[in-house]
Chains A and B, each alone.
Chain A
Amino acid sequence: MPTLHDLLAASIDERALRYAIDDSGARPETLRHIRRVRRRNSIATGTTSAIAVTSGFFVAAHGDNSVVSPAGDPADATGEVVIDLTDLAPFPSLPGPAPDAVCGVPIADIGGAPEVDGFAITTGWHQDGAIDPEVLSMQIRSAVTYDGEPRPPAFVDTGYAVIVADGAVVALVEPSSSPHFARLDSGSEWVDYVTLRGGADNTILACDGGDLAAGDYEVYVIAQAGITNETLARQLLAEQGVVLASESDEEWAPGSQACDREARYPTTGRRVLQCQPELAPNVTFDRAAGTATVTYAPELYAGALSVQLVSEPLTLRIAGDVELGIRDTEPGTRDIEFGTGDTDVSIREIEPNGGGDDLAPDAPVVIVCDAPDGRTFVDVPGDMVRIESSDACGGAHVTIITDGSEDGAHGFTLPVP
C-alpha cells in the first residue's frame, strides 16, 4: 500500500509530466520583472550610503566621498530633463561597457587610459591575511583620484577587474562596490578593494565558464566616471525616496495593477513615483508620451561627463589551476569498511534540521550506520537524505559519507532522532 509520500509524489510528478507535454514555460515577463527589481534594489542600496539630504548646497569632504545635496527645490529649479519611461536605462548608467560585455575583447580595444581629463587610477596588490593558493584569494587596492576643475557631483565607479591573457580578457572579477555619487573637487579620492577569489565563493568569472588555468596573466582595473542630466535627475529623485519605474512592458499609474502590486509587495525601499506623483512636485508626467519631465537646480549640472579609466596592468602568476565556482560532481559511490579509519574522509559534525547550505546536491551518499549490518546505500535527491528506517541504524549516530568531488569524500555525523 502506498504512503502519503508516494501518493503525493505520483500526483505531482504526473501533473508535471502533463505540463511538460503542454510545453508550459515560465512567462517572459518574469525575467523582466526580476531584472527590474534587481535594478531597483541596486538603486536602493547602492548609493545611499554616501548621500544625505538637507537643503542648501554641496559640501565635498576629501577622502570620504560624502556629499550633501539639495533635494531639488522646485522653486529654484530651472534645469529640466525629459525622461523616456518606455526606454528607461539602468540606473546609474555609466559610460563604459558593462563587465560582461568585455569578455574576449582585446584590452587595447576597450578604450580608456590610466589618466583622463583630471581623473587617474592607480592600483596595487593589497594582501590582507594569508593567501589560500588553491582558491587564489588576493585583493587589489584601486584608487581613483580627481585633480581637475571643481564640478558638481557625478558618479564615480572605482571599477571591476579584468584578467587578461595574450592581450584579451579571459576572466572578470565581480564589482565589489556600487558607484559613488560625489562632488568632484581637486584632490578627491575614492578607494575600493577588488577581491580576486576562486573556489566555491568565487568572485572571478571565467569568460568560457571554466576554471582559471595555471599561467601568467595581467590584471587591469576598469573605472568610470560620468553624469548626464537624466542620471542627475534620477539621483535627486532617489534622494527624495522615490524612483521612476520602467513602462516598457507595464503601465505604472495610480490604481494600476503594477502600482497595486508594488504597494502590497514592495521591491525597493523607495516608492515608485508614477504611483504617488504627489511625492515629487518637480516632476510632471505625460502619460500619452510615456515621459517624465524632471526639474532641478541648474547649478547641480555642468554638462555631461563620460570618462573611462583603465589601470596599468598588474602581474598575476598562478602556480596551479584554480577552480571557479561549484562543479557538478560525477555520480559514483564510495564504500568504506565499517569500523576502519579513512584519512581521506574529513568528519564534521552537523546538526539535523539545522540551517546552513546544502549537503552534496547530486552526490550519491553512503549511509553507514553504527552497526555492521546497518549499512545502506541511498541516492540523494537534491539536498535531501532519506533514512529508510531509524531502526536500521541502531546506534546513536549515523555517518553519512558523500563522494564525487575530485577533492575527495566528505563525511558528516548526526544523531539519530
Chain B
Amino acid sequence: MAKWQGLYDELASTRYPALLAYAAALTGQRATAEDLVQEALVRTFSTPRRIHSLQHAEYYVRRAIATLFIDDKRRDALFQRTQARITANEAEPAKAVEVDERDAVTAALLTLPPRMRACVVLRYYDDYTVQQVAETLGIASGSVKRYLHEASALLRATLGAEEDKQTVRVEPAAGRRGRY
C-alpha cells in the first residue's frame, strides 16, 4: 500500500469525526460539512506531497477545509449540492441538515459572515497568529485583524467569554526540518 494511502486510511478511520466537527463549525450543517471534508481530503491527498504523520495530514486537511470554505463559488456550490441532496433524501432530515441551535457557540458563529467565521476558527481554535490566518485564507492581515476585532467583541458579548491568552505558533524556518 502506498504511504499516502496508509495515512489516508488512518486519518479517515480515526480523525474523521473531528474533521467533520471542525467543518461543521464553519458550515453549521452536517451535510455541507461532509462535502467540505471530502473536498479537503481529495485536495490534500491527490497531490504528491510529503506528509510525515497523522498530525501533519490533519493539519493539511484542516487548512484545506478553511480555504475551501471561504471560496465563495465553492461554498455556494457546496450548499447547492447539499440542498439538492437533502431535498432528495428527506427520509433522514435530521441527519442531513443539522443546524445545531442547541450549541450556543455554533449558533453565535453562524451569525458571522463566512470569512469572519473562518478567521475566528483559525485564530481561536487552531491558534493561528493573525499573519498565519491571513496567509492561509489569502486575505490581508489588516482585514483579519478587523474581522477578529469585530467577531471577538460580538462573540464575547454573546457567549460571555474572557480575553484569550497570548499565543504564538512556531515552526522551523523554511528549508529546515527536524528529524521527527
Contacts and interface: CB of A to CB of B under 8 A. Distances in A.
A16 B18 contact: yes
Which of B21, B173, B178 has the most C-beta atoms of chain A within 10 angstroms of its own C-beta?
A: B178
Interface stretch (A244-252, A278-286, A351-359): A351-359
Interface string A16-41: 11111010111101110110011001
Nearest to B1: A100
A407 B180 CA distance: 10
A354 B171 contact: yes
B42 interface: yes
A141 interface: no
Interface string A362-381: 11000000000000000000
Contacts of B16: 19, 24-26
A267 B52 CA distance: 24
B180 A400 contact: no
Contacts of A385: 168-170
A122 interface: no
B155 A356 contact: no
Contact of A26 (B41, B125, B175): B41
A300 to B, nearest CB: 31
B83 interface: no
Contacts of A31: 5, 8, 12
Contacts of B173: 348-351, 354-356
A384 B126 CA distance: 9
B170 A359 contact: yes
A402 B175 CA distance: 19
A356 B77 CA distance: 32
Interface in B37-55: 37-39, 41-42, 45-48, 50, 52-53, 55
B131 interface: yes
A362 B159 contact: no
Interface size class of A (residues with CB under 8 A): 35 or more
Contact of B73 (A264, A349, A361): A264
B168 A4 contact: no
Given A24-B16, A34-B8, A358-B56, A412 B172 contact: yes
A361 B17 contact: no
Contacts of B165: 3, 388-389
A214 interface: no
A5 B124 contact: yes
A96 B167 CA distance: 54
B157 to A, nearest CB: 11
Given A382-B58, A405-B179, 8 more contacts: A4-B120, A5-B124, A8-B120, A18-B17, A41-B47, A348-B176, A361-B53, A363-B180
11 contacts: A3-B162, A10-B105, A15-B24, A19-B16, A41-B48, A200-B52, A351-B173, A353-B132, A353-B168, A362-B180, A363-B180
Interface of B: 1-3, 5, 8, 12-13, 16-18, 20-22, 24-25, 34, 37-39, 41-42, 45-48, 50, 52-53, 55-56, 58-59, 73-74, 77, 81, 95, 100, 103, 105-106, 120-121, 124-127, 129, 131-132, 152, 155-156, 159-180
